[in-house]
Homo-oligomer: A and B are copies of this chain.
Amino acid sequence: MRNIRMAISYDGTTYHGFQTQPIGNTVQDVLEHAIGVLTGEKADITASGRTDAGVHARRQYFNFYTSSPIPVDRWALALNSRLPDDIVVLQADEMPSQFHSSYSAKRKTYRYGIDTSKFGDVFERKYRLHYPMPLLLEEMKEAIAHVRGTHDFSSFASKRSTKTTHVRTILDARIEASDGKLDIFITGNGFLYNMVRIIVGTLLWVGEGKLTAADFKRILEARERSAAGPTAMAHGLMLWEVEYEE
What's the nearest-Cβ distance from chain B to residue A201, in Å? 22
- How many angstroms from the CA of A90 to the CA of B132 in the assembled complex? 13
Interface size of A in residues (CB-CB distance below 8 Å): 21
Interface of A is mostly: mixed
- How many angstroms from the CA of A88 to the CA of B10 in the assembled complex? 25
Tell whether A122 is near chain B: CB-to-CB under 8 Å. yes
Contact A125 B85 (CB under 8 A): yes
Contact with B along A145-182 (1 / 0, CB 8 A): 00000000000000000000000000000000000000
Contact A119 B89 (CB under 8 A): yes
Count this chain's copies in the assembly.
2
Tell whether A190 is near chain B: CB-to-CB under 8 Å. no
Tell whether A46 is near chain B: CB-to-CB under 8 Å. no
Contact A123 B85 (CB under 8 A): no
Which residues on the B side are within 8 Å of A119 (C-beta)? 76, 80, 88-90
Contact A123 B56 (CB under 8 A): yes
What's the nearest-Cβ distance from chain B to residue A128, in Å? 11
Which residues on the B side are within 8 Å of A89 (C-beta)? 119
What's the nearest-Cβ distance from chain B to residue A79, in Å? 10
Q: A11-B122, A80-B119 are in contact. List 5 more A-B contacts (CB 8 A).
A: A9-B121, A11-B123, A11-B125, A76-B119, A123-B127
9 nearest CB pairs, A to B: A9-B122, A88-B122, A88-B119, A11-B122, A85-B125, A90-B119, A80-B119, A123-B127, A88-B120
